[in-house]
Structure 1
């Protein structure tokens, strides 16, 4: 697949969900992803409400792909044939107080699950910037969240139920199926339909969020790990247009992290009001700041569930770099500031702990991520990405699977030591490529 066709564009408006999943291909409008930069290649979308309906659909069709909440920016979930949406598979199945786990259907959103858990006295260890994303979609793309000691969302998984290509059900447990489990959790949509997920939970907790503005880059260079370890979860926002980090977001666990809030943080000044990561935008869509304590699920994300997150009409790219290369990588990107600036809304820098999941960008490495929220200027962004990726190449950067990148398949292969084992499991579960699509053909089998 050529880079220029890596994502698809359309000027049409977002289509509404289909009333019936069995209408003919020609009669159905095509869905778009959340940001509107991708139009899916078929209007043939199915909305099963039970696992049995999933099994029947998978058995019936020779080619099919699974849709979550359509928050990916590339064609990882696209199909030219059939799409299966998990939006109706959105229930909490059970909580085990003894095992400290919750089992849910794969299509449930974190913004739906989290308040339920909090009401029951429980919490997850981490949440991503947006609560709008589904559990299955998030874990299969290794979507992450933040915290130097916090693994990504997939690291909370202890069990999976997957409908594989022949329509049968495979159940995998972290305790009893270690190798297959580690291969399957970040499955890139290649293994089948994730119908149930079991997640580790813990007692609920409170978090407060404090923002500091104007952190000197020199202070970041000298005190990098102290700054990124200053709270339970820390994010840095910059537009690369000065020698300062624009904003530092520190999310601290009440009663665990220090309760002392200083007027300065390594030269950055405490914000005097709620702010948006993109400073020019209104902060009304953002989670509460100014040190006001609140439940974990109302502070760990940057954006509230009921509002449009981030900018909306945007593109996103993100690269995972081993933590020990973080400062070199940040410096390399800072040198590109003049080229990046005209096309960028904001960059977020954060950390994620290492995990054992084979296709996770954090496999065997605690990572720093450099995340780009781009203006929807596709041609310009696709010209910039190879330049950025070349700068990050010495650090073996791994891209976020659900965002836009142009790294060649051979390079990806060299950065995932377990890729051959992953493809072996895919061949076992999907021998005829029922769940294969252009993204997998190019990036995994290219």
Structure 2
């Protein structure tokens, strides 16, 4: 995790995984929006830093890093409108209990409740479920400090809003977000093991639609998926009992961790014990560090209609990437209209890879995966490791040029541009 202490603010720092050392010499942590406006207006190269859970240089800069974690804590719930306005630096795990006590909930959560609201939305982070959009899909409005220090609010329906939510910090430093809410609900979670691969491929849509949230974990060994995590909403009829067998898979007899052989104490409660949405939708519990960070991660989104063909393409080359893989995860994400969301315009399936922490060894595996998924117009997760060229990315996003023009309008001098944005969105493209 990032250390925001006064002593650390002038020290070199890394991301959560330790594979990126930030180039900035200074981390600013303003205590007020006014202080943030002054700092941004006076800076020449500025990047917002969340909780450091990205695995690439999306948050890096040679200028000043700024954290909004020190801004006044805001959780304003509008019961009638079913919205919550929250300060951008708060982690999801810091707002969910308040929402639940008010009888409300977010539609979904990511695997980790440890990530900041703004950072997760800015990179297109998501949970799972055929009817569930990425986390940014809940954003109704956002407030941000732009390059000249102005405080700007964009609301759903405003010009440019669809390009501003998943924007990787290119438009400014987000200070608040207003999120859509739904009535609070309870979840039961079960894990099934040794799910036959042939059953998955013959009934993919059925399998992924059988619970509110479904995650498949696989080491890509061939023949079977290691684990299926089912997160089922509790209905008015009350909790239900899970069958011992499900599509040929066997119900786990105790709690499980996604990575085989790792103790499950850090994971959310399983075995069908009912609990509130925020205590079951993530895979990991807020009170524990979910991992030691010794890993790299990548993720690619394909249209759900292509999921089986994409799976088969990856299965054919598994010997090229499985040796450097810790675990893979497969999830569904509902399509949205956010310009740079990896699920923009299409219901999607996301193929996630947790790699060993060895960039040199992982890079050839990434290239093999991207080559195998290229026929399916696979889009990468913006906060994870990928090797796609800018020209390839441009062809994957219908609103690529619209976003580039929006960023240039908000930030004509390129104050928020960094090496990551300059490479993936070159202005001479």
Shorter-chain TM-score above 0.5: yes
Contact 2:329/2:351 (<8 A) preserved: yes
Which residue does the alignment assign to 1:206? 186
Which residue does the alignment assign to 1:36? 18
Measured after TM superposition, the shift of residue 43 of structure 1 is 2.6
Moved more, 409-418 or 336-345: 336-345
Moved more, 309-318 or 267-276: 309-318
Q: Residue 293 of structure 2: which of 278, 303, 312 is its match?
A: 312
Contact 1:73/1:316 (<8 A) preserved: yes
Which residue does the alignment assign to 1:249? 229
Which residue does the alignment assign to 1:350? 331
Contact 1:191/1:430 (<8 A) preserved: yes
In structure 2, distance between residues paired with 1:395 and 1:149: 21
Residues 206-249 of structure 1 show CA distances to partners (whole Å, capped at 9, x for unaligned) of 00101000001100011111110110000000001131000000
In structure 1, distance between residues paired with 2:258 and 2:208: 17
Contact 2:2/2:51 (<8 A) preserved: no
In structure 2, distance between residues paired with 1:363 and 1:402: 16
SS at match of 2:160: helix
Which residue does the alignment assign to 1:186? 166
Which residue does the alignment assign to 2:145? 163
In structure 2, distance between residues paired with 1:188 and 1:156: 17
Q: 1:93–1:287: structure 2 CA closer, same or farther, 3 Å change rule? A: closer
Which residue does the alignment assign to 2:215? 235
Contact 1:90/1:106 (<8 A) preserved: no
In structure 2, distance between residues paired with 1:235 and 1:300: 11
The TM-score, its normalising length taken from structure 2, stands at 0.97
Which residue does the alignment assign to 2:316? 335
Contact 1:303/1:310 (<8 A) preserved: no
Residues 49-103 of structure 1 show CA distances to partners (whole Å, capped at 9, x for unaligned) of 2111110110111111000000000000001111001221362341111211000
Which residue does the alignment assign to 1:147? 129
In structure 1, distance between residues paired with 2:189 and 2:20: 34
In structure 2, distance between residues paired with 1:193 and 1:64: 9
Which residue does the alignment assign to 1:372? 353
Contact 2:302/2:349 (<8 A) preserved: yes
In structure 2, distance between residues paired with 1:46 and 1:342: 40
In structure 2, distance between residues paired with 1:73 and 1:273: 32
Give 4+ residue runs of structure 1 displaced > 3 Å after superposition: none
In structure 2, distance between residues paired with 1:32 and 1:364: 34
In structure 2, distance between residues paired with 1:356 and 1:15: 32
Contact 1:89/1:108 (<8 A) preserved: no
Q: How many residues align?
A: 426
Q: Residue 404 of structure 2: which of 396, 415, 423 is its match?
A: 423
Measured after TM superposition, the shift of residue 310 of structure 1 is 4.1
Unaligned runs of 5+ in 1: 1-13
Which residue does the alignment assign to 2:92? 110
Q: 1:90–1:299: structure 2 CA closer, same or farther, 3 Å change rule? A: farther
Please say if 1:359 is aligned against 2:333: no
Measured after TM superposition, the shift of residue 20 of structure 1 is 6.5
Q: Residue 265 of structure 1: which of 240, 246, 250 is its match?
A: 246
The TM-score, its normalising length taken from structure 1, stands at 0.93
Measured after TM superposition, the shift of residue 337 of structure 1 is 1.9
